[in-house]
A and B are shown apart, each in its own frame.
Chain A
Amino acid sequence: MANLKEIQRQIKSVSNTQKTTRAMKLVSTAKLKRAKELAERSSVFASKLNEVISDISTRIQCQKIGGVENRACVEIDNPQMVDLIFVTADKGLCGGFNFQTLKAVKTLMAEYKDKKVKVRLRGVGKKGIEFFIYNEVEMLDTVKDLSSMPDMDRAAEFIQSSMKDYMEGKIDGVTIVYNGFKNALVQELHVKQILPIAVSCNDEVAASSMLEIEAEDSEKMLNSLIAKYVEYNMYYSLIDSLAAEHSARMQAMDAATNNAKEIVKTLNVQFNKARQGAITTELIEIISGVESMK
């Protein structure tokens, strides 16, 4: 009988877990919808901004028209130190979502080390921060509670110091690593170099219509545009990462619910078998008792 009780207890506990995971899945589904909408609305702006920026920097890099002295637009040949910014979730229970990002960060760091480039690590998201603290990797600075609530102002504030160091020549590159949203089932890892602005020298683009920048404020305009570009890319990676986080969690929780269902099923079979066994033993006891009385 003890065995029966034990199995019953297990069934109850597993189905309680199942309830929790199902609820978490539903919550993530709802949040995913909102995050996805935000990311989609934002992507229009992102594509236009990138269009304008790449147009300008292509001109600068490929045709050497003005602005060559601006650090943001020229490739730096021999980088000494770079900023690596990673974005992870604040919460776990989302499958391999965080770990994928962290793995990419580690690979990148190893690559930089081979090239003898110093890396300054800056982190967003509790999970990634905890991971690097545990592994005793030094981080320049860290922000929590930003990846779960993306906010343009806070994102801008965070990226500003990297931007400033870059412009002053303290660092020679800024790269963001994050896990982005592709569709509800697939997350896509992005490693995005935001400074210096990466362009591909495409003759077709360069041959398009003339672009005139009013000479007097060209420097000022370029600077403010680049600042916007950098801030916005930071913000966009946050919201993209949030959408991906929810989709990953949704999947993970769905899988957990299904697993729980399986376990309950096998436990039920076990329970029935044990009950049958108990009844059989009881019957045998009674019968053999009667037999011995004869």
Chain B
Amino acid sequence: MNTLQLEIVTPSGAIFKGNVTEVTLPGEEGEFGVLPEHASLTTLLQAGVIDFVKEDKVTESVVINWGHVKVDENKVIVLADGAVAIRGDSESDIAKAIASAKELVASASDNAAAIATVSAKIESAAHQLI
């Protein structure tokens, strides 16, 4: 199966690096999905959730507060200001990740509706994990 390489980096380190089969990004003008062999583009991202399906068909989510993405045919590079991965081994780990993700989004945006939308997405992403 075709895969594309996804890299999510922040000033404090790389959050994710690996091959994925698809990725959904919170673009400035709306959400968009990227599959392998996508045309190249460069655009801004807003506070939101990046969903991606890894090679083993597991979906993971990363919350970002601001970002910029560069898409090539087989490579996606996300430069984010702050990012929190929603993952963890135990429920308490996940709960901790959710809390810090919400905090991140709340600090990035003052639009209550936007925060609520993202929070709901975070919850649903976490729900899948548990």
Q: How far is the CB of B76 from chain A (nearest CB, A)?
A: 11
Determine whether the beta carbon of A42 is less than 8 Å from that of B12.
yes
Instruction: Name the residue of chain A whose CB is nearest to the CB of B27.
Output: A214
Q: Does A60 contact B (CB under 8 A)?
A: no
Which of B11, B73, B79 has the most A CB atoms < 10 Å from its CB?
Answer: B11
Q: Is the interface of A mostly helix, strand, loop or mixed?
A: helix
Known: A44-B14, A217-B29. A52 touches B39 (CB 8 A): no
Q: Does A294 contact B (CB under 8 A)?
A: no
Q: Does B51 contact A (CB under 8 A)?
A: no
Known: A48-B77, A49-B79, A228-B68. A152 touches B11 (CB 8 A): yes
Known: A52-B70, A52-B79. A44 touches B13 (CB 8 A): yes
Determine whether the beta carbon of B41 is less than 8 Å from that of A221.
no
When distances are taken between beta carbons in the complex, the residues of chain B under 8 Å from A225 are: 68
Q: Does B109 contact A (CB under 8 A)?
A: no
Determine whether the beta carbon of A213 is less than 8 Å from that of B41.
yes
Q: How far is the CB of A286 from chain B (nearest CB, A)?
A: 77
Find residues 11-38 in chain B having any chain A CB closer than 8 Å to their own CB. Answer: 11-14, 28-29
Give the contact stretch, choosing among A7-15, A124-132, A204-212.
A204-212
Q: How far is the CB of A227 from chain B (nearest CB, A)?
A: 11
Q: Lowest 6 A-B CB distances belong to which pairs?
A: A41-B13, A45-B9, A212-B41, A44-B14, A45-B11, A221-B44
**Which residues of A are interface residues toward B (Cβ below 8 A)?**
38, 41-42, 44-45, 48-49, 51-52, 55-56, 152, 209-214, 217, 220-221, 224-225, 228, 232, 235
